[in-house]
Structure 1
Amino acid sequence: MSIHEQIAFIKEIPPFDNLTKSQLDFFAENLDIIYLKKDVILQQEGVEPKNLYFIIKGIVQEKQAEEVISIYSNSEIFDPISLIENRSKYSFVTAQETICYILPRAAFIKILHENPALESFFFQSISQKLNANMDNEKNKDLANMMVAKVKDANVHRAVIVPFETTIFEAVQIIKDERVPTLLLKDNKDEIHIVTDSDFREKVILNRMDFDDIVGKISNSGLKYVNENDFLFNAQLLMTKHRLKRLVVKNNKDEIVGIIDQISLSSFFATHTFSVSNEIDNAKNIEELKKASQSFNKIIKSLHAKGVKVDFISRLINQLNRKVMNKLFLMLAPKELIGKSALLVMGSEGRGEQILKTDQDNALLIDDSCECTQEQIEEFAKLYTETLVDFGFPRCEGNIMVSNPYWCRRLKDFKDLIYEWVMKPSGDNFMNLAIFYDAVCASGNRVLLDELKEYLFKIGSTSKTFYMHFAKIIMDFNVPLGFFDGFVFDSKDKEHKDEIDIKKGGIFIIVQSIRTLSLEHKLMRVNTLKRIQELEKKGEFDKEFASEITEAFNFLLTLKLKSNLEKLDSGKKIDNYINPENLTTMEKDLLKDSFKIVNKLKKKLEHHYKLNYV
C-alpha cells in the first residue's frame, strides 16, 4: 500500500482519527507490513511487547493458556494497553492466515504523549478495563461454569459408615469428621445418605431413640456425577431431579465426595437455585407465575456474562419443564395423574427454545384412564389459557393441548402416527417432525416411549419415505451469494436488509439432522445430541460434526442476542437479524456458518437424491 492508503486505513480506526496530519505521517513512515500463517504467536504472555498491530486481513485470538479471551479481525488493533504497561498480560495468536501493519512501541508511545485525545482515550480504556475486570471478578464464578469441573468446586469429603450405625454414633462421627453429611452402606452394598436436616426433622421432632439405627432416617435413590464432569451439568442434574446434593465419583467408579447446592452457588452467581425452589414450593398459580417471570432476567444475565447458548437453553429448558410439570399437577384432574403424559414438542422439546415464543404441546392419555372427555377438554383449555397468562403465546398453528387433534388417548395417537407415515403429505410430514421432537414434561414417560417405538416399527425402511421427509429443506435457501455477500428477500418490504436466520440456517440444520436421526431410529431429540449420535453411526466425520455444532450454536447465539435487544426495546421477537448491526467478526462467522449449512444441505441432497424428488 502507498503512504496515502496507509494513512486512510489508520484514520478509519478509532481513536486514531484524532491524530494530526503530521502525526499520521509519522505513523505511516514507521509502519511495516507482515504476513503470518495460522497459529503464529505474535505476542507472548508475560513478555514485553514490541509492536502495535493493525489487522488488514485475518483473525487474531487473545488467549490465556488455552482459553480464548477475545478475538480481533479486519481493521482492528491490538494490544495498546500492553504497550502502555510494557507487559503483555495475554498471548496473541493468529487463528488463520493474517496480514498486519506493525508500529514499533517507541513510535506509538511518542505520539501517545503528544496527543491529549489519544492519551485520554487509552488511559480511560485502562480504567474501564480495570472496572470491567473487577466486575468480572465478582462474576468470575459464573464465567468459570463454562470450564470448571466438579472437582474444582468445594466437594465435601465422603465418609461412609455401616447402615446399622446408631444415631448417636452417627452424630459423633459428623462432629469428629467435620462433614455435613454421612453416606451409609447396607448389607447389599447399596449407598444411602443422611444429612443434618434429617437429624433435626426426623430424630428430634419425632423424639427417636438415639440408640436406634441411623439407616432408618436415611434417604436412597442417590444421583451420581463424575468429578471430571462440568459443574454446569451437575447443576442441571440437581435442577432436573430437585436435589440438594450429588455423590461424586472418580473414573474408577469410586465415591470421592459429595457436592451440594452451596458449593455450586459459589460458582453460579445467579438466582437459578432460588427460582427453582420457588417453582417447587409454589402453593398456587400466582406463585408459580411469579417464579416463571424471572426466566428472562436469568437469560440476560447468563448471556451478558458469556455463557454459551447451549448451556443457557438447557438450563431454561429444565426450568420451563418444572413450571409445566407443576402447573399440570395443580390443574389436572386426579384421574389424569399417572395415566397421561404432557408432551412438549418442537424447539421446546428439543431444548433449543430460550425466550418464550409459542406453545407446542400435546396430551397423551392412557387408554385405561377413567377421566371423562368433558373433564379432559375442560382441563386442556384451562392449561393452555394459564400458560398464555404466564407469557407463553398461543401457537399460530394451534399445536396445543386445547386442540383435540393434539389431545388423544394412546390408541388414537397410534392411528394418527400410522396416518402420518402411510399417507405422506406436507401436513403429515410436519406433524411427524413436531411429534418426533416430543419429550415428556409431566406424567408417564412410558406412554411416549411406546408411541415412538411404534413410530420406528411402522416407519418405512425405504429411502423414498425419508427423501420426501427431507425434501422440505429444498424450499429454503441459504442467504449467501456466490461471492460471499448476503442475499436479501427483495419481496419482503417489512424486513428489508434483514435475514431470516431461522429459515436460512437453523431450520435447515434441524430438519436435516432430524431426518437422519429418524432414519437411524434415534430416541434423542436435542439437535446437538443427535449430531453426536449420528457421528457415532458414521454419518459425519468428527470434523464435520464439530462444524455443524459450532455453526448451529453461533446461529442460535445471534438469534438470542438480536431478540434480547428487541425485548429491551419493546419490539416483537422474531427470527430476523440485520447484518449491518453485526461486527466485522460476526459477519465473517455468519458467512462461515452459512457455508457449513450449505455443505450439510448438499450432503442431504446427495444422500436422499433430493434433486430427483
Structure 2
Amino acid sequence: MEPTLRFLAAIPPFDRLPGAALTETARAMDVVYAEAGQRLAGPGDTPEGLWVLLKGRVEELREEEVIRVFGPEELFGALALLRGGYRSTFRVAEEMVAYLLPADRFRALCREHPAFQAHFHDDLATKLDGLLARERQQDLASVMLARIDQAYLHPPVWVAPEATAQEAGQAMEAAGANAALVGSPGDTADPGLVTVSSLYRAVVVRGRPATTPVADLARHGLVALPRDASLFDAMLAMTRHGISRVAVREEGWNGGVCGFLELGSLMSYYANHSHLVVTEIRRARSVEDLARAGWRLVDMVGALSGRGVKPRHIQRLVSALDRQLFARLFDLTVPDELARDCCLVVLGSGGRGEQMLKTDQDNLLVLRPGADPEAVRGAAEALGKGFEQLGYPPCPGGYMVTNPRWRLTPADLEERIAEAGRHPEGQALMDLAVLLDGTAVAGDTELWEEGRTAGLGRLTGHPSLLSAFARPVLEFDTPLGAFAHLRTGAGSGGDALDVKKGGIFPIVHGARSLALEARRQATGTAERLRGAAEDGVLDAAFAEELIEALDFLSGLRLRALLAAHRAGRAPDDLVRPAELSRLERDLLKDAFQAVKAFKRLVAHHFHLNLVT
C-alpha cells in the first residue's frame, strides 16, 4: 500500500485529504489493466468509480470524435459519478494500467471532505487560489530565514555628545530619520541613542531646555545585531525588548553600527517590500540613489510571487511603484522650466499597469508647442541615460524619448493616431496599439490627454480599421493540440512553449481591440474585458475566466523571468510543461482553451475571416 499512498498524496484532489482518509482511500483502490482499443465505459453504463491512470493513454470520445486524451497521473470518470451517468465514451488508446476508486468510496469522500468534492466543481479561478495557497505555505520558511541586510536599513545619523537637543532634532529632520546615535562614526563602544519621541518627551513633556546636551538625554545599552542575522532574530529582539528598531553592526557583534532596522521596514519586508521602495524613491537625491531603489523592485516581485500573491496584484503594485520611480527620474533630470512644458508617457505593459519586471524602455515625451529644441534634446538624453541606469535597456522598436520620432506636440500625437485610420496597415497600426496603452506619469499630463483624445476622435468613419487592427490576435498559434495536449517545440531542446505569444498576447490585444471599438479610455486588460462584458460583446463569466487565464499565464511567465534573472540568463517567455506540476499542466490547458475560445470570438466579431 505504501507506493499507492505516496502516489495519491502527490495528486490533486487526493492531496486535500487528511492522513487517515488518504490511507483508507489507498486501501480501497483496485488495479485495472486494459489493452489498446478496449472500451472502458460510456453512455448507458453505470459508473464503476474514479479512474486514476498509472500508465498508458485513454481517449474521451463524443460521437466518435476524440475530444481529450488522458495520460499518466490524470483522472477521469468523476463527472459521470456526480451526474449519475456517462455523456462520453472512454476507450484505451495505449495499453493501460490504472487505479479504480470504487463509486461508493468516491461518494463517501465527497460527502465527508468538501475540499475533495470541490475540486471537481471548481472553476479556473478557484483552482488557481488553491495552487497559490500551497505556494504560500512552501515559501514561509525561506521568509523567516531572510537576512537583515536583505531589508532596508536606515543610514545612521551621528551627533556629537555636546550637541544640543534642538541640534539633534534638526539633524534627524534633515536626514528623514527617527533616531540618532550619540558619539563618533565607527565607534565600536556602546554609543548613546536618542529618538524623535525621546526628545519630544524630554523637551515638551518634561520641560528640559532645548539647549540640553544630547549626551544627558541619550539612552545606553544599544540593542544591536550583526547584519547577517536573520529577520526573525530581529523580530524576536524587538519583541523581547519592547522596541521598534534594532541597530545593525557591520561585522559581527562588535563591529561599527552601519544602520538601523526599523519595525516598519521589517513589517514591509514580510508584507511586500513596497514601503521600502517608496521610502527610497522619495529620498533619492540622484539617479544613482534612484537606481538602488529600482533594483529592490526585483527582490520585491520575487518575494511576492513566492508568497502566492496573484500576478495581477503584483502588476498593479509594481506599476504604481514604477510610475513613482519614473516621476522621480523626471524630477531629477528635466529642468523645472521645461518640466512645465512637457509630459512623460509610459507605454506598453507599464502603461497598461501590467508590468512585473524591468523590460525595454517604452516611453515618449509630449511637448508644448514652442519648447526649446536644445533643452528638449538634452532632457531626452538625460532621461534615456537615467532609464538605462535604472535597468531599462533601449527599446529595439525605438519607442523611447531619445528617438526624435517620439517627441511630439499634441498636434503631432493627434496625427500619429489618426494615421492608422487613413492607412490601417503596418507601422501605423503598431503605433496605434502602443499609444492606446499609454499613461502619463510626470509633467503636464493635459498635453497627453489633449493629443490622445483628439486623435481617437478622428478614427471614426474608417470601417476597415477595426478588422485590420484586431487581425494580429490570430498571428500566433495557441500551443494546444486537438486532443488537449500541450504542444511544445520552442527553445533549444524543443521542449518548451511560448506562453506570451501563445496565450498572453491574444488576450491583451483582443481586449485592446474591443476597447478601441467602444472608444473606451481604459488601458488595463482586465478593465477592458469587463468593459466588453458591459457592452454585451462578452459574457461576464467568460470575461472573468479570461482574466484568470491571463493571470495564470502571466504567473508562469514571471516564474520563468525570475529564474532567468537569478541565473544571469537572457530572459525569455518559454515555459517547459515537463517542469510543471500535474495541476499546473491542467490549469495551463484550461487557460489555453479559454484563449482559443476568445480568438474564435474576436475573429467572428471583427469578421477576420474576410481580412486578407
Whether the 8 Å CA contact 1:36–1:94 is kept in 2: the answer is no
Residue 563 of structure 1: how far off its partner (Å): 1.3
Residue 464 of structure 1: how far off its partner (Å): 2.0
**Cα distance change, pair 463–590 in 1 and its aligned pair in 2 (3 A):** farther
Alignment of 1:409-558 (within 5 A): 409-489=409-489, 494=492, 496-558=494-556
**Cα distance change, pair 551–59 in 1 and its aligned pair in 2 (3 A):** farther
Residue 538 of structure 1: how far off its partner (Å): 1.6
How far, CA to CA, are the matches of 1:133 and 1:404 in structure 2? 47
TM-score when normalising by structure 2? 0.60
How far, CA to CA, are the matches of 1:130 and 1:353 in structure 2? 22
Residue 460 of structure 1: how far off its partner (Å): 2.6
**Cα distance change, pair 381–30 in 1 and its aligned pair in 2 (3 A):** same
**Cα distance change, pair 137–279 in 1 and its aligned pair in 2 (3 A):** closer
Alignment of 1:167-566 (within 5 A): 269-367=271-369, 370-489=370-489, 494=492, 496-566=494-564
SS at match of 1:293: helix
Which residue number in structure 1 is paired with residue 29 of structure 2?
Answer: 31
SS at match of 2:279: helix
**Paired residue type of 1:523:** Q
Residue 95 of structure 1: how far off its partner (Å): 2.0
Larger RCO (CA within 8 A; separation ≥ 6): 2
- Please, which runs of 5 or more residues in structure 2 have no aligned partner? 12-23, 32-47, 52-71, 79-97, 102-111, 123-133, 146-195, 205-262
Determine whether 1:591 maps to 2:592: no
Whether the 8 Å CA contact 1:467–1:608 is kept in 2: the answer is yes
**Paired residue type of 2:523:** V
Residue 415 of structure 1: how far off its partner (Å): 2.3
How far, CA to CA, are the matches of 1:92 and 1:136 in structure 2? 29
Residue 323 of structure 1: how far off its partner (Å): 1.0
**Cα distance change, pair 129–89 in 1 and its aligned pair in 2 (3 A):** farther
**Paired residue type of 1:348:** G
**Cα distance change, pair 443–595 in 1 and its aligned pair in 2 (3 A):** same
Which residue number in structure 1 is paired with residue 118 of structure 2?
Answer: 94
Residue 91 of structure 1: how far off its partner (Å): 4.5
SS at match of 1:314: helix
Per-residue CA deviations over 1:469-499 (Å, capped at 9, x if unaligned) read 001122211111111112234xx66362211
**Cα distance change, pair 393–15 in 1 and its aligned pair in 2 (3 A):** closer
Residue 266 of structure 1: how far off its partner (Å): 8.0
**Cα distance change, pair 401–56 in 1 and its aligned pair in 2 (3 A):** closer
How far, CA to CA, are the matches of 2:311 and 2:575 in structure 1? 17
Which residue number in structure 1 is paired with residue 105 of structure 2?
Answer: none
**Cα distance change, pair 314–27 in 1 and its aligned pair in 2 (3 A):** closer
Residue 599 of structure 1: how far off its partner (Å): 0.5
Whether the 8 Å CA contact 1:59–1:95 is kept in 2: the answer is no
Residue 271 of structure 1: how far off its partner (Å): 2.8
How far, CA to CA, are the matches of 1:365 and 1:496 in structure 2? 48
How far, CA to CA, are the matches of 1:485 and 1:454 in structure 2? 47
Per-residue CA deviations over 1:88-141 (Å, capped at 9, x if unaligned) read 99943332279xxxxxxxxxxxxxxxxxxxxxxxxxxxxx999969759979xx
**Cα distance change, pair 439–55 in 1 and its aligned pair in 2 (3 A):** same
**Paired residue type of 1:604:** V
SS at match of 1:336: helix
Which residue number in structure 2 is paired with residue 57 of structure 1?
Answer: 75
SS at match of 1:603: helix
SS at match of 1:342: strand
Per-residue CA deviations over 1:229-269 (Å, capped at 9, x if unaligned) read xxxxxxxxxxxxxxxxxxxxxxxxxxxxxxxx979958962
**Cα distance change, pair 338–93 in 1 and its aligned pair in 2 (3 A):** farther
**Paired residue type of 2:428:** N
**Paired residue type of 2:455:** L
SS at match of 2:336: coil
How far, CA to CA, are the matches of 1:398 and 1:361 in structure 2? 9
Whether the 8 Å CA contact 1:364–1:407 is kept in 2: the answer is yes
How far, CA to CA, are the matches of 2:435 and 2:493 in structure 1? 31
Whether the 8 Å CA contact 2:268–2:275 is kept in 1: the answer is no
Alignment: residue pair count: 411
Whether the 8 Å CA contact 1:418–1:458 is kept in 2: the answer is yes
How far, CA to CA, are the matches of 1:328 and 1:519 in structure 2? 34
Per-residue CA deviations over 1:165-195 (Å, capped at 9, x if unaligned) read xxxxxxxxxxxxxxxxxxxxxxxxxxxxxxx
**Paired residue type of 1:388:** E
How far, CA to CA, are the matches of 1:497 and 1:477 in structure 2? 16
Which residue number in structure 2 is paired with residue 217 of structure 1?
Answer: none
How far, CA to CA, are the matches of 2:513 and 2:322 in structure 1? 26
Which residue number in structure 2 is paired with residue 41 of structure 1?
Answer: none
How far, CA to CA, are the matches of 1:272 and 1:366 in structure 2? 34
SS at match of 1:442: strand
**Paired residue type of 1:457:** G
How far, CA to CA, are the matches of 2:570 and 2:142 in structure 1? 31
**Paired residue type of 1:308:** K
SS at match of 1:275: helix
How far, CA to CA, are the matches of 1:56 and 1:346 in structure 2? 39
Residue 55 of structure 1: how far off its partner (Å): 7.7
SS at match of 1:364: strand
Residue 32 of structure 1: how far off its partner (Å): 5.4
User: Which range moved further: 411-420 or 598-607?
Assistant: 411-420
Which residue number in structure 2 is paired with residue 222 of structure 1?
Answer: none
**Paired residue type of 2:610:** Y
How far, CA to CA, are the matches of 1:519 and 1:412 in structure 2? 23
**Paired residue type of 2:116:** F
Per-residue CA deviations over 1:44-78 (Å, capped at 9, x if unaligned) read xxxxxxxxxx9861699xxxxxxxxxxxxx99x9x
Which residue number in structure 2 is paired with residue 103 of structure 1?
Answer: none
**Paired residue type of 2:75:** K
**Paired residue type of 1:596:** A
Per-residue CA deviations over 1:378-420 (Å, capped at 9, x if unaligned) read 2112211221121111111111100011112222222222223
Alignment of 1:144-159 (within 5 A): none
